[in-house]
Structure formats: C-alpha cells, structure tokens
C-alpha cells in the first residue's frame, strides 16, 4: 500500500540569473543552454519540414515540373542534412543536456563553459550551412555527399564547401557535448547513485556520448580530406588521379550507421522513462536494457558496410557485415520485449506522452523489421536505392526518434517551463502525426518493391505510382498541420497555460524532486537514493540501501574529459592512418623512399624526450619543487619546438624538390597525416606554455591546481604516442618494404 511521501525541500523562487536577453547570450547554465538548443533545433525543424513539403509537392504527381532537377537536388540534400545534423540528433542530445544533470542530482554539467561553446558551434555551423542559400549555391550532392560527385570538376560551386565546413563546425560542438555528457555522468553523480542506480535515460545518454566520440571523428576526417582535395589539390577521392571514392563511403558510413544509434539510443532512454511512469510499474529488466544499449553501441561500429553491399566488397565482407547487421537486431529486440513486459499487467494511463511512446514501439519495430531485410544481401541488392530504403529509414528516425522527441516534449515540458500542454489538443495532434506519418511512409515500402528509385526528381506515370505518391503527399501535409498545431500549443502554454506542479506525472527520477522549472542551482536537498527510481522508493517507504564503493566517483573531471577527447582523436587519426596505408604506394611518383628517415628520426627523438621531461617536471611538482618543475617544463617546450621546426624543414626540403600535397596519392596522405599531427603538437606547445606561465606565477604551489598540469601532460603524452605510430608506419615501414 502506498503512503504519502515525505516532503522534499524545494528551491526558493530566486533564480540568480541575469535579466532579459543578456541571460541567453551569457548563460552557462545547462538548463538555459538546453532551452537554446531545443528552440534552435525547433526552428531548423520547421525549415527542414518545409523542404520536405517541397519534395512531396514535386513527387505528388508523375512528370511534375514544380521543381527543376537542380532545385530538387538542393532541397532533398538540405532536408536530409538538416533533419539529421540540426534537428533529430541535437534535440535528443539537448534533452540529455537539460535532464541528465537533474537525473543524477548534479548542479550543472561538468564543464559549463564548454557546454555554452558547444551551443554556439552548433548554431554557427547551421548558419554556415544555410548561408549557401543566400550565396545562391546550396549543396546538391545529397546528405551523404558521395565522391566523386562532391569533387571538382563535378561540383565547382561552393555548395559542397558550405556543407563540409558547416558540418565540421557542428560536429566539433557535438564531440564537445559528447565529452561533457560522459564526464558529467561519470563524476557528478549524487551520493548513493551507483552505476546501476542511474535512470535509463541517463544510461542511454552516456552510451550515446561514447558513440559520438567513436564515430563522428571519422566523418570529420573525411570532410577535412574533401576540403583539402578541393582547395589544396590533393587527390583522396579524385578518380582521375587514382583516388578511391569507395574510401569516402567507408569513412562516411563508419560514422553513418552509428549515427543511426546516436539518434536512437536517447530515444530508447526516453521511452524507458515514459512507459513505466504511465504504466505505474517499474521497468522490466533494467539490467538487460542497459546491457543491450551497451551491446548496440559496440555492434554499431561493426555494421557500416551493409550500406555498401552493391559496391562489390566481395562475398566474405558481405557475409561478415550481413551477419553483424542481423546480430544488432537482437539487443534492439530485447528492449522492445522489455517495454512490452512493462506494459503487461500495468495500470496504463493513456496520456499524450504515453500515446507517443506506444506509437514509437509500433513504428520503430516496423522500421527494425524492414532493416533486417537490408542485412540479407540478395534482398538488399534488389531494394537498394529504391523507396523501400526511404520508408525503412523514416520509420526508424521518424516513427522512432521523432515520436520519442514528441513524447519527451509532452513529458518534460512541465518540468522545463512550469506549464502544462493541453491534453485535449495534444490528442488531436497525436492522431494527425500518427495517421499522417504512416500515410506518408508506409506506401514507400510498396513503391520500393515496385521499383521506384529514390533521389530522382520525378517519375513516369506507371501503374499505381501516382496514387501512392499522392497519398504520401497528403500524409506529409497532415504531419505539417500537426507540427504547426504543436507550435501553437507551446506558444499558448508559455503565454498562459495551466501551471504544472513539481511532479505532475508522479514520476520517479530526481528531476521531479525539484521545482518546475528548476532554479539555477537545481536542488536544495536530495532524497535518499537506493535505486534508479528514488521517488518511487520514497513513496513506498522503501529504505535506501547503501551503495557499493565506487572508485569512479573519485575520478577527476578534467582527467576523464581529456581521456574522452583523446579517444575521439584516436578515431580521427585512425581514419587518416588507414587512408595513408591504402595510398602509400598506390600511385607512381614520390613514395616513402623519398623521405629522409635518419633526419626525421633525430627530430623525433627530441619529441620522445619531451615526454620524459614532462614526467620529470611532474615529479618535481609533486615534491613542491617549483624551480625544478619549471626547468623540466621549459625543457619540454624547447624539445617540442625543435621537433616542430624539424618537421617544417622536412616540408621545405620536399617542396624544394617539387614534392607537394598535390603530387600524388602518397604525398596527399603524407602531408595530411603529418600535418594534422603537427597541428596537435603546436596546440600542445601552447598548452605547455600556458602551464609554464601559470607555474611561474606560483599557481601550483602546495599541490594547488595539479589537475591542470596532469591534464596537459596526458595530452602531450598522447601527441608523442601518436607520433610513435605515425613514424613507424610512414617512415620505418617504407624502409622495410
């Protein structure tokens, strides 16, 4: 039998925030930044939705001329890019940005200023992308921008450049968010909140953060190489000079398929929060859901080539990636069964968040089942590049992630704003979205099996094609009406909607233990935490069991942060190294034999020695020997600078011999790989110099601020370690071969 829960102290009304617009330009509060992200992504969603309507108007009838081929290519490119990079992924991550610190009982994200910087990178990256429209040269090579179409001379205008540069900027912000989320979850958990007392949404957000660091740098490396091709004359994807366009597909889809789960895992977390609350029953199989999320993340980086079955990878590769693609369906199916088991026997309340959650389960399951078809190579051969793919993709990201976003909007809107959205209006919006979505995207499976190709601006008047496409256009406009109604309902609620209590849904996680909306400092006090649902325990007078000792709780945030950043950098350098190994002897002309190995070895010894001097400096600092610390630290800076000067002179010698980045594939990959390493050395020298200047003013006396020294030291050791690999593969391997 339940009893009234003891009262939890709620924060005072004082918000401690700057007044007016200044608050939004200067804030580092995770809640304000979350709201900025959500509002900006909502604006981009309206733009992306308008682009979708233009596509559907063009395809409503056969042989339509509403859009010409060039305009259609630009609109469908921008629609896909916008919805993936500026809408679905950002909105899901920004719910995490707002909710995760509240769910773990933290005051803010681990790095508040980095959090704000991530938002501005996201905003300006999106503006760079859309500036291409103002410039009259929007991207028109698809959201995947396959080479060689994205290379010169096939795309001479600047649309591809805006696409690559805009996404480079937004990707940097996303990687920073991944680092921040991971560090926040590891180091800022409330007392008593062990790893298996984290809410499932927090778990899925942390797994997503890891996946961001593992996958997005591959796209970043590919885009950097594309820009180097276009502006510096390299040949990474230039077929006329021996470049390999399939390499672009490998690098892109190594990011692209994990990206699906970057957009799906937070959605899984949202559904795992909503269903138990509105079924009035704890989630079934908490540990299994967490384990399946981890399994999905690891498997997702081993399935990318199922997007490339028609490339001609060979039977062995096709078999491996087909099997791995089927395997990833198992942990995904586990989650579906856990949700169904939670519903079974529950006291289900069909509030609007629950309606969207149930629709998610149905539609995502359909998307998952059609995804299994693409893991079967012969089926993929028949349906690849047809509308069957478009239907599958939208059932996963539209029927899945978008409906999870709508569930989260209704579920957490009272917490974020202190107001309730209208339940009656919300039901009408739900049915508009539900019927409109299925009317739009289910017929695409039929059209795909009938042979309609995707990425074409029109089609012939073949039997059945016109009627199904017209029905899809009607469905798209139904969804548009639903979205506009939601915008109106949000505006109405913000202006004078019903005030929400602190816990209107009778939720169980910590975000419902503070006021609505929360104050700047989040909590006055926290309830005892004995499980992943502390408010449920409080309501049922369950005594909190003391958590097991958790050594990760003592990890320092900057150290975890630099380790996470290094992990992402390992992916970036891994992409460049794989490219170098493919191209090192692929084309005639200069090769590894033209490198001055003894001279580079000499300069490399200076860099390797700098790791030793950094270590000796840290040992001196541990004994509070400031003079000894500064001596060894300055020696490290000098040794690193000598190495960098040596690399510059190596470049000068090669250029004097007529060997440039545009000479052949070897020089393109050599200068890019070693150049990016040199950039990291230069950044490391700046960091070492800053630490040296702070040390000179006595900032590190008596053990103070040692974490800053340790963080820079770890980064410098990483730079040295990467050079060991690069020197071995670029210089020494050339001698052996």
If you average pLDDT over residues 592-616, what whole number do you get? 94
Q: Could you identify the residue written with the tokens 């915008």? A: 487
In this predicted structure, the answer to whether residue 735 has a pLDDT above a threshold of 80 is no
pLDDT for position 544: 64
pLDDT for position 11: 57
The CATH class given to the 584-736 domain equals mainly alpha
- Segment 231-281, tens digit of pLDDT: 999 999 999 889 999 999 999 999 999 999 999 999 999 999 999 999 999
pLDDT for position 2: 40
Residue span(s) of the chain under CATH 1.20.210.10 come to 32-547
If you average pLDDT over residues 99-113, what whole number do you get? 95
In this predicted structure, the answer to whether residue 1 has a pLDDT above a threshold of 60 is no
Q: What's the topology of domain 32-547? A: Cytochrome C Oxidase; Chain A (1.20.210)
In this predicted structure, the answer to whether residue 4 has a pLDDT above a threshold of 50 is no
Residue span(s) of the chain under CATH 1.20.120.80 come to 584-736
- Segment 382-432, tens digit of pLDDT: 999 999 999 999 999 999 999 999 999 999 999 999 999 999 999 999 999
In this predicted structure, the answer to whether residue 3 has a pLDDT above a threshold of 50 is no
pLDDT for position 13: 47
| Cβ–Cβ under 8 Å, residues 667 and 687 | no
Question: Distance between CA atoms of 257 and 617, rounded to whole angstroms?
Answer: 44
In this predicted structure, the answer to whether residue 715 has a pLDDT above a threshold of 50 is yes
Of the listed ranges 89-93, 527-531, 548-552, 704-708, the least confidently predicted one is 548-552
Question: Distance between CA atoms of 712 and 687, rounded to whole angstroms?
Answer: 7
| Cβ–Cβ under 8 Å, residues 715 and 566 | yes
Of the listed ranges 7-11, 200-204, 308-312, 594-598, the least confidently predicted one is 7-11
The Cβ-side half-sphere exposure at 156, using a 13 Å CA radius, reads 1
If you average pLDDT over residues 340-355, what whole number do you get? 95
Question: Distance between CA atoms of 596 and 408, rounded to whole angstroms?
Answer: 59
pLDDT for position 283: 94
Give per-residue burial for 673-683: e unless 16+ CB within 10 Å, then b.
Answer: bbbbbbebbee
In this predicted structure, the answer to whether residue 7 has a pLDDT above a threshold of 60 is no
In this predicted structure, the answer to whether residue 122 has a pLDDT above a threshold of 50 is yes
pLDDT for position 10: 58
pLDDT for position 219: 97
Is the peptide bond preceding residue 293 cis, with omega within 30 degrees of 0?
Answer: no
Determine the angle formed by the axes of helices 159-187 and 69-81, rounding to 10 degrees.
10
Average pLDDT, the chain: 92
User: What does the DSSP 8-state code read for residue 190?
Assistant: P
Question: Distance between CA atoms of 420 and 403, rounded to whole angstroms?
Answer: 19
């Amino acid at each position: 039998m339940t009893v009234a829960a003891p009262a939890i102290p709620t924060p005072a009304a004082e918000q401690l925030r700057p007044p007016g617009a200044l608050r939004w330009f200067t804030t580092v509060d995770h809640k304000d930044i979350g709201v900025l992200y959500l509002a900006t992504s909502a604006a981009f969603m309206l733009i992306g939705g308008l682009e979708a309507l233009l596509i559907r108007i063009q395809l409503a009838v056969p042989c339509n001329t509403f859009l010409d081929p060039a305009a259609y290519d630009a609109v469908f490119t921008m629609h896909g890019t916008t919805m993936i990079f500026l809408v679905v992924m950002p909105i899901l991550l920004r719910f995490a940005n707002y909710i995760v610190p509240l769910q773990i009982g933290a005051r803010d994200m681990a790095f508040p200023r980095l959090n704000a910087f991530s938002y501005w990178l996201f905003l300006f990256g999106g503006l760079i992308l859309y500036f291409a429209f103002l410039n009259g040269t929007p991207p028109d090579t698809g959201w995947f921008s396959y080479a060689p179409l994205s290379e010169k001379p096939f795309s001479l205008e600047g649309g591809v450049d805006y696409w690559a540069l805009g996404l480079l900027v937004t990707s940097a912000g996303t990687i920073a968010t991944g680092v921040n989320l991971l560090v926040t979850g590891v180091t800022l958990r409330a007392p008593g909140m062990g790893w298996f007392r984290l809410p499932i949404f927090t778990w899925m957000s942390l797994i997503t953060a890891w996946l961001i660091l593992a996958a997005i740098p591959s796209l970043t490396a590919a885009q950097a190489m594309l820009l180097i091709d276009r502006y510096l004359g390299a040949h990474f994807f230039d077929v006329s000079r021996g470049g390999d366009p399939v390499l672009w597909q490998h690098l892109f889809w190594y990011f692209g398929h994990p990206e699906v789960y970057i957009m799906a895992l937070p959605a899984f977390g949202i559904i795992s929060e909503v269903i138990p609350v509105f079924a009035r029953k704890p989630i079934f199989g908490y540990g299994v859901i967490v384990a399946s999320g981890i399994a999905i993340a690891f498997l997702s980086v081993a399935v990318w080539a199922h997007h490339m079955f028609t490339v001609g990878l060979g039977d062995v590769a096709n078999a491996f990636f087909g099997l791995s693609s089927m395997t990833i369906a198992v942990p995904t199916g586990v989650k579906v069964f856990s949700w169904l088991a939670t519903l079974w026997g529950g006291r289900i309340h069909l509030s609007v968040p629950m309606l969207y959650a149930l629709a998610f389960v149905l539609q995502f399951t359909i998307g998952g089942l059609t995804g299994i078809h693409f893991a079967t190579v012969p089926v993929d051969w028949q349906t690849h590049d047809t509308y069957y793919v478009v239907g599958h993709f939208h059932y996963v990201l539209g029927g899945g992630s978008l409906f999870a976003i709508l569930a989260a909007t209704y579920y957490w809107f009272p917490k974020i704003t202190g107001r309730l959205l209208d339940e009656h209006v919300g039901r009408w919006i739900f049915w508009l979205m539900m019927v409109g979505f299925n009317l739009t995207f289910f017929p695409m499976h039929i059209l795909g099996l009938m042979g309609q190709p995707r990425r074409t601006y029109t089609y012939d008047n073949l039997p059945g094609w016109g009627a199904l496409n017209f029905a899809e256009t009607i469905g798209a406009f139904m969804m548009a009406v639903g979205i506009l109604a939601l915008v109106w309902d949000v505006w109405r609620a913000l202006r004078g909607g019903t005030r929400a209590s602190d816990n209107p849904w009778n939720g169980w996680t910590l975000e419902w233990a503070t006021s609505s909306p929360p104050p700047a400092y989040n909590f006055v006090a926290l309830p005892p935490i004995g499980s992943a649902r502390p408010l449920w325990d409080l309501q049922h007078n369950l005594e909190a069991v003391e958590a097991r000792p958790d050594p990760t709780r003592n990890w320092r945030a900057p150290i975890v942060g630099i380790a996470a950043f290094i992990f992402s950098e390992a992916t970036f350098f891994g992409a460049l190294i794989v490219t170098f190994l493919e191209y090192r002897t692929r084309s005639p002309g200069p090769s590894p034999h033209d490198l001055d190995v003894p001279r580079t070895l000499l300069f490399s010894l200076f860099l390797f020695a700098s790791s030793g001097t950094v270590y000796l400096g840290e040992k001196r600092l541990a004994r509070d020997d400031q003079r000894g610390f500064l001596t060894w630290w300055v020696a490290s800076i000098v040794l690193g600078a000598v190495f960098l000067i040596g690399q510059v002179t190596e470049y000068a010698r090669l250029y004097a011999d007529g060997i440039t980045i545009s000479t052949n594939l070897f020089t393109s990959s050599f200068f890019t790989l070693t150049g990016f390493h040199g950039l990291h050395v230069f950044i490391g020298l700046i960091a070492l110099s800053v630490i040296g200047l702070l040390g000179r003013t006595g900032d590190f006396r008596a053990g103070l601020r040692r974490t800053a020294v340790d963080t820079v030291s770890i980064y410098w050791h990483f730079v040295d370690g990467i050079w060991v690999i690069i020197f071995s593969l670029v210089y020494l391997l050339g001698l052996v071969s």
